[in-house]
Structure 1
Amino acid sequence: METQKRILLLCGGKFAFKALQLLAFEKYICGVAIGKVSERIADALERECEDSGIAFHSFPNKKSMMLMKDWIEEIQPDYIFSISFPFLLSEDILSYGTEKFINFHPGPLPQYRGVMPIFEVLRNQESQTAISVHFMNSKFDEGDIIFNDPVPIKANDTYGTLTVKLSSRLAQVALNTANMLQFANKIPSIPQDTSSAYYFEKPDLSDTYINWKRMTSDEIIALVNACNPWNTGADFSFNGELSKIISAKILNEPHNNTLPGTILSTDENGSINVACNDNNQISIEILKTDSGIMTSKQFTTLHPVIGVILN
């Protein structure tokens, strides 16, 4: 009987846990390393590994990465899987073995390189995303691609719902990859097409802020969904106060080219209806202000809104 392959998993938090559980159940996991996460998560994972006889190590910062190569050589895994691990692996670490390091990227490569492809595919209104499996090199998301596993995006998907969907799909993809490695001497791969490559930096306020004058109703809703829940919604300004839209929908009602960002009305449910630059309206349902997270109806009991222009 062929010896079971031993896989060491580098992970960055909860997104990788379903894959970890499935790989551990199938007896592939020999070690787990975690990047910078809360002490509560790290402690819980360390206890689980100890109970299961699995090696564990925490690498909370870049300085601690100096210890990784020695730890890997001590464990001697056949392969190293990386899922949302936050730190770049140096050439020294990667010298452990050619085609030993495999990354699972939650977005299509090479078009969506970067730390938050889930946000970017939603903001760009893509109809599908992917789990991209690729060999690792000393640059983020640039190694040769083993395969892209497509995942459809629903019209109402948010950052949260898509993350849960991708985490579940990634678990099966990771197991399929482990099974491929178990029974194949070599896995084919192809270099990434650099002509279609783009690296997205981590979003900042300029990426999450609603530009009422330039963005269509579709683009605003896409941004709201892309920011829920990781940014607690898309940013905007109400009477000079920075606020966030957590949930909204398109009304498909014209407004006779009123200035975009103008609050036109509220409905019987208290939703706040706002003019957009495509002569359409969005209806704000849940938002966050300095006073807290609230429904639009609660918000309108605190503030006069009709005719206010959002910035």
Structure 2
Amino acid sequence: MNSLRVVFCGTPQIGADILKALIEMPNVEVAMVISQPDKKVGRKKLLTPTIVKKMALEYGIPIIQPVKISESYEEIKKANPDFIITCAYGQFIPTKILEIPNIDAINIHGSLLPKYRGGAPIQYAIKNGDSKTGISIMKMVKKMDAGDYYIQESVLIEPNDTAGTMFEKLGVLGANMIKKYLFQIANRELVPVAQNETEVTLSRNITTNEEMIDWYQSAKQINNHIRALAPTPIAHTYLKTERYKIKSARLLRSDEFFATTLNVKRPGEIVAMDREGIIIHTNQGFLKVLEIQRSGKTMISAGLYFANRLTDLRVGDVFGELMI
């Protein structure tokens, strides 16, 4: 096969990574890009294009942003794509559009399917303490992330990885894989593998309530939770009526801090502060918070509470559920 025409659908940075790979591929023409509508961002509510849209404009590629992709059926059909390729697009694509491409409609999914079908596979892999995750290039079907996969490759999740760093790793991996395998898929050199339905797990989008830290978990579980939500939307907790976001933390070794259950009785209790951060007792073990943000303030090093004698948090305070 000499050349391929592609319609690409994506929205965040990982989608832009895949789009850039397609643009760089010889004998591939990105005929159209589809991304989510511009959104109002920040306190000033400035209308902001997606990262994928910015890249499409930079390279002069036609871009559409339908509220519902089904409304763009005729435009996509006129593009006459060999492939529709999606990565973190953010909308279900109806069957009539999946049937448009001459060869196939494929998705670049950020997990080792059938594990973590859904919109937050990277976050769930970190939250659950997995040692690895990866990319699956899969056929798109009507059911969410349920299609046969052509190929999978994995990458390690390091102890200090966050959702942000894993998105970067998987963006690089996905870009390399699409370059390596797209023509093999086009030439029918890869045989799709059916997913084992008995091993399916889901990773639905994380809600605001699920961002809250449960101090009755272990320090390791809480640290995984914090890493899974960094750099956005960021895990949070409450002290009485005040909300605090916690962007980063680390586990304390047993030789770094000693305390007994006699003087530390409550999960969520601040037991010490130093120039590095704030030490908090959990249901099992101790966690040192490194970056924290009080509602309405900026994110700061948690060590400033000790160094600058900030007073809104003190030893003995207990983080927990919102009190009204």
Q: TM-score, normalised by structure 2?
A: 0.86
Alignment of 1:188-199 (within 5 A): 188-199=191-202
Shift of 1:45: 3.5
Q: Is the 8 A contact 2:37 2:49 kept in 1?
A: no
> Are positions 1:298 and 2:304 aligned together?
yes
Aligned to 1:8: 7
Q: 1:161 is paired with a residue of what secondary structure?
A: helix
Q: Is the 8 A contact 1:264 1:274 kept in 2?
A: yes
Q: 1:20 is paired with a residue of what secondary structure?
A: helix
> Are positions 1:263 and 2:270 aligned together?
yes
The count of aligned residue pairs is: 299
Q: TM-score, normalised by structure 1?
A: 0.89
Shift of 1:266: 1.1
The structure that is helix-richer by fraction is: 1
Aligned to 1:59: 65
Alignment of 1:62-73 (within 5 A): 62=68, 65-73=69-77
Structure 1 residue identity aligned to 2:294: T
1:286 is matched with which residue: 288, 291, 311? Answer: 291
Q: Is the 8 A contact 1:146 1:189 kept in 2?
A: yes
Structure 1, gaps ≥5 residues long: none
Question: 2:124 and 2:100 mapped to 1: Cα distance?
Answer: 33
> Are positions 1:225 and 2:227 aligned together?
yes
Alignment of 1:203-242 (within 5 A): 203-213=206-216, 215-231=217-233, 233-242=234-243
- Percent sequence identity is 21
Q: Is the 8 A contact 2:268 2:319 kept in 1?
A: yes
> Are positions 1:276 and 2:276 aligned together?
no
Shift of 1:192: 1.2
CA distance 1:35–1:43, change in 2 (3 Å) = closer
Shift of 1:14: 2.1
Question: 2:276 and 2:108 mapped to 1: Cα distance?
Answer: 43
1:47 is matched with which residue: 39, 45, 57? Answer: 57
Question: 1:162 and 1:10 mapped to 2: Cα distance?
Answer: 21
Structure 2 residue identity aligned to 1:94: L
> Are positions 1:112 and 2:122 aligned together?
no
Structure 2 residue identity aligned to 1:114: G
Q: Is the 8 A contact 2:82 2:102 kept in 1?
A: no
Shift of 1:227: 1.1
Query: 1:240-277 CA deviation, whole Å, 9 max, x = no partner?
Result: 2111111111112353222211111112x151111111
Q: Is the 8 A contact 1:35 1:85 kept in 2?
A: yes
Question: 2:71 and 2:189 mapped to 1: Cα distance?
Answer: 29
Q: 2:57 is paired with a residue of what secondary structure?
A: helix
Structure 2, gaps ≥5 residues long: 40-47
Aligned to 1:20: 19
Q: 2:7 is paired with a residue of what secondary structure?
A: strand
Q: Is the 8 A contact 1:115 1:200 kept in 2?
A: yes
Aligned Cα RMSD in Å? 2.0
CA distance 1:145–1:5, change in 2 (3 Å) = same
Q: Is the 8 A contact 2:119 2:205 kept in 1?
A: yes
Q: 1:292 is paired with a residue of what secondary structure?
A: coil
Shift of 1:217: 0.7
Aligned to 2:36: 35
Q: Is the 8 A contact 2:70 2:94 kept in 1?
A: no
Structure 1 residue identity aligned to 2:210: D
Shift of 1:59: 2.5
Q: 1:164 is paired with a residue of what secondary structure?
A: helix
2:80 is matched with which residue: 76, 79, 84? Answer: 76
Q: 2:159 is paired with a residue of what secondary structure?
A: coil
Structure 2 residue identity aligned to 1:287: I
CA distance 1:270–1:199, change in 2 (3 Å) = closer
Q: 1:170 is paired with a residue of what secondary structure?
A: helix
CA distance 1:69–1:47, change in 2 (3 Å) = same
Q: Is the 8 A contact 1:157 1:225 kept in 2?
A: yes
Aligned to 1:245: 246
1:96 is matched with which residue: 89, 100, 114? Answer: 100
Q: 1:249 is paired with a residue of what secondary structure?
A: strand
Question: 1:98 and 1:207 mapped to 2: Cα distance?
Answer: 41
